[in-house]
Amino acid sequence: MHGKATQGQAGTSSRFGTKGPRVVIIGSGVSGILAGVKLLERGWRDFVVLEKAETLGGTWRDNVYPGVACDVPAHVYVYSFAPNPAWKTRYAKGPDIWRYYHDVAKRHGVLDHIEYGKNVVHAGFDGVRWTVQTADGSNYEADVVIGAPGRLRDPKMPDIPGMDSFAGPSFHTARWDTSVSIKGKRVCLIGAGSSGVQILSAVARDVAQITQFQRTPQWVMPVADEAVPWWKRLLFRLRPSVLRRTYRQMLDFSNERGALAFESKQARAARDKMCSDALLRIRDPELRAKLTPDYDVGCKRLVMSETWFEEVQRPNVSIVTEAIERIEPTGVRTKDGVLHECDVLIYATGFDAHAYIRPMRLTGEDGITLDQVWADLPLTYRSVSIPHMPNFFMLNGPSSPGGSASIIGIVETQWDYIAQLLDRIAADGVLIAPREESAKAWLETVRERARNSVWSTGGCQSWYLDHTGTPAYDAVSLPQLQASLAAPVMDDFEVRAISTQ
Ligand code: N01
């Protein structure tokens, strides 16, 4: 079968009651909330969202460091069904983004379905249904499981000798200790990616000294954060359909510029020039040399900031490029023997970008485990489904696009595809899993595309690359993703009736 299944309604199969199939959603971040809203929209009310933390969210709950903001334009970083005319600036701050997602979850009735403190450790399939187990010993039966645990989720701590010996407060950016004030303090900041740049830009003027340990310089794209004037916000409220759509399209276009760099030489050249020209704002040639990357723009994920170019030149900011030897009680000692003293030590060292749904364990049909299916690589079909794992779907799973589009657009596109499979499940009471050979063929196509992308050819190391050195992300733009996920090719799936014998 090729083409859209019919739009499903609750109870289309006699297998399921009027509330639709029983669904477990894992995670209450932007993907999990989306899944909840969409299930309710289709009348599937029998679902639970399992959230391991005590409050809703993922990225925007966990990242509360000073200056945390989203570098995707705010009007794009929203669900298509819930535009927000109230954004006051072009780029939204972390706490405002969290409030937006909380508000959507509340308005759409998803909050009532969330259970907190539920860390999923295993999901097992018995031939008919899934049983999802949480660390506290609870079990949840499900006809369908949606994995939405997020991708840049688990902080990656470096392995530096003496880390435990530091006498002052020390923490990762995604585990910010809000009880610690860094005002007037001497701060050591390890890492110079998006988080490190945002923190330095936000705190440099408030701290006594900030020493940033930069192993590799990053390309920084100067993007100004403009206020959205009151009359525009009013206009958006008064003319919701036309004006919001127009604005959204405009921002979608600018957001896609990054993706165009995959395809268009001119777009890439313009972007490269913007980044290299911006470095000329660094007045001290020695500092500029330290901050100038020797790899292609876009090889690592671009950092976006306007303020960084000035903040990094403050007299109380030091950029240390000497390698770190060890951490000592009073600071960070580099290999040249210098001890960089500080009161607070911050690890802006990024995330384990390749765990996906692990460390959660999966046992699928015939006892086949996720570890077996993913022994070589995280094998999925179109990022949303896994061979031997029937009626288990993922949002923002392995080999999803990265760095090229708003994650919201990506997960909405993936949801629309999954929804067509859910329609089939509901209508015919079937189990659907991708064929292993289809998944392998698809993954090879994605990896080939990624090998030809700047992530691979650009001459850098980054979290895009997996243990084989191949980018684990699909180098496609949002429109390309939308085209490829328009309708499931059902021949690529094994579809079988649920047998209750
Ligand atoms: O992490 P990163 P991040 N010794 O992995 C360094 C998203 N995000 O949290 O480059 C010394 O980019 C490492 O050095 P190197 C966004 O997608 C979005 O900043 O590996 N240094 C690097 O400098 C982003 O890309 C927003 O040589 C060590 C840094 O730590 C992603 O999250 C805001 C080290 C890690 O940089 C991750 O960003 C923030 C060691 N042992 C984040 N180990 C938005 O605005 C690591 N490093 C949407």
Mean pLDDT of the chain: 92
Mean pLDDT of 403-424: 91
Measure the CA–CA gap between 260 and 276, rounded to whole angstroms: 19
Per-residue confidence band for 478, with pLDDT thresholds at 50, 70 and 90: confident
Listed in order, strand segments (DSSP E) in 420-474 are 430-434
Q: What is the pLDDT of residue 263?
A: 60
Residue nearest to atom 41 of ligand 1 (CA): 158
Q: Helices 407-428 & 30-41, crossing angle to 10 degrees?
A: 40
β-strand pairing of 170-172 with 220-221: unpaired
Q: What is the pLDDT of residue 245?
A: 76
Q: Which of 307, 330, 347 is the last residue of a domain?
A: 347
Q: Which of 294, 314, 347 is the last residue of a domain?
A: 347
Residue nearest to atom 46 of ligand 1 (CA): 349
Q: Is the CB of 334 under 6 A from ligand 1?
A: no
Enter the tokens of residue 382. 């179109």
Measure the CA–CA gap between 123 and 389, rounded to whole angstroms: 10
Q: What is the pLDDT of residue 258?
A: 52
Per-residue confidence band for 8, with pLDDT thresholds at 50, 70 and 90: very low
482 domain-assigned: yes
Concatenated DSSP letters for 255-293?
Answer: HTHHHHTTT-HHHHHHHHHHHHHHHTT--SHHHHHHH--
Shared domain check, 27 and 113: yes
Q: For residue 145, what are the domain limits? A: 23-152+353-497
**Using an 8 Å Cβ cutoff, are 326 and 162 in contact?**
yes
Per-residue confidence band for 266, with pLDDT thresholds at 50, 70 and 90: confident
Q: Is the CB of 125 under 6 A from ligand 1?
A: no
pLDDT 10s digits, 238-262 = 988 766 777 667 666 665 555 555 5
The rounded Å distance from CA 199 to ligand 1 centre is: 12
Q: Is 7 helix (H, G, I), strand (E, B) or coil?
A: coil
Q: Is the dihedral of CA 178, 186, 70, 232 positive or negative?
A: positive
pTM for this entry: 0.94
**Using an 8 Å Cβ cutoff, are 142 and 50 in contact?**
no
Q: Is 383 helix (H, G, I), strand (E, B) or coil?
A: coil
14 domain-assigned: no
Shared domain check, 419 and 327: no
Mean pLDDT of 102-122: 98
10 domain-assigned: no
Per-residue confidence band for 16, with pLDDT thresholds at 50, 70 and 90: confident
Shared domain check, 95 and 46: yes
Mean pLDDT of 421-436: 96
Q: Is the dihedral of CA 480, 487, 451, 146 positive or negative?
A: positive
Q: What is the pLDDT of residue 239?
A: 86
Measure the CA–CA gap between 116 and 135, rounded to whole angstroms: 12
157 domain-assigned: no
Measure the CA–CA gap between 331 and 128, rounded to whole angstroms: 57
The rounded Å distance from CA 66 to ligand 1 centre is: 16
Q: Which of 305, 329, 347 is the last residue of a domain?
A: 347
Shared domain check, 102 and 37: yes
Q: Is the CB of 319 under 6 A from ligand 1?
A: no
Mean pLDDT of 391-411: 90
Q: What is the pLDDT of residue 267?
A: 77
Shared domain check, 361 and 274: no
17 domain-assigned: no
377 domain-assigned: yes
Shared domain check, 411 and 303: no
Structurally, the chain folds into a number of domains equal to 2
Q: Is the CB of 348 under 6 A from ligand 1?
A: yes
Listed in order, strand segments (DSSP E) in 284-343 are 303-304, 317-320, 324-328, 331-334, 339-341
**Closest listed residue to residue 392, CA positions, set 335, 431, 343:** 431
Shared domain check, 114 and 172: no
Residue 359: asked if its preceding bond is cis (omega within 30°), the reply is yes
Per-residue pLDDT for 10 more than 60?
Answer: no
Nearest atom within ligand 1 for CA of residue 72: 48
The rounded Å distance from CA 146 to ligand 1 centre is: 28
pLDDT 10s digits, 79-110 = 999 999 999 998 999 999 999 999 999 999 99
Q: What percent of the chain has pLDDT over 90?
A: 81
Measure the CA–CA gap between 238 and 227, rounded to whole angstroms: 19
Scanning 265-406, the segments in alpha helix (DSSP H) are 265-279, 285-291, 308-311, 370-373
**Using an 8 Å Cβ cutoff, are 198 and 65 in contact?**
yes
Measure the CA–CA gap between 273 and 257, rounded to whole angstroms: 14
1 domain-assigned: no
Q: Is the CB of 19 under 6 A from ligand 1?
A: no
Shared domain check, 298 and 264: yes
Measure the CA–CA gap between 437 and 492, rounded to whole angstroms: 8
Residue nearest to atom 8 of ligand 1 (CA): 194
Per-residue confidence band for 405, with pLDDT thresholds at 50, 70 and 90: confident
Mean pLDDT of 219-243: 88
The rounded Å distance from CA 93 to ligand 1 centre is: 19
Shared domain check, 478 and 366: yes
Residue 434 maps to which CATH number? 3.50.50.60
Shared domain check, 167 and 54: no
203 domain-assigned: yes
Q: What is the pLDDT of residue 9?
A: 46
Per-residue pLDDT for 131 more than 90?
Answer: yes
Q: What is the pLDDT of residue 250?
A: 67
Q: Who wins on pLDDT, 43 or 245? A: 43
Measure the CA–CA gap between 437 and 252, rounded to whole angstroms: 35
CA dihedral 387, 118, 419, 109 (to 10 degrees): 180
Q: What is the pLDDT of residue 477?
A: 83
Q: What is the pLDDT of residue 251?
A: 65
Enter the tokens of residue 339. 């001890």
Enter the tokens of residue 287. 């500092």
Nearest atom within ligand 1 for CA of residue 197: 19
Q: Which of 195, 346, 407 to mutate to test the pocket of ligand 1 (most atoms within 8 A of CB)?
A: 195
β-strand pairing of 139-142 with 430-434: unpaired
Shared domain check, 334 and 381: no
Q: What is the pLDDT of residue 333?
A: 98
Enter the tokens of residue 191. 């890492």
Shared domain check, 360 and 423: yes
Q: Which of 194, 300, 306 to mutate to test the pocket of ligand 1 (most atoms within 8 A of CB)?
A: 194
Q: What is the pLDDT of residue 4?
A: 35
Q: Any bridge partners for residue 260, and if so which?
A: none
The rounded Å distance from CA 196 to ligand 1 centre is: 7
Q: Is the CB of 73 under 6 A from ligand 1?
A: no
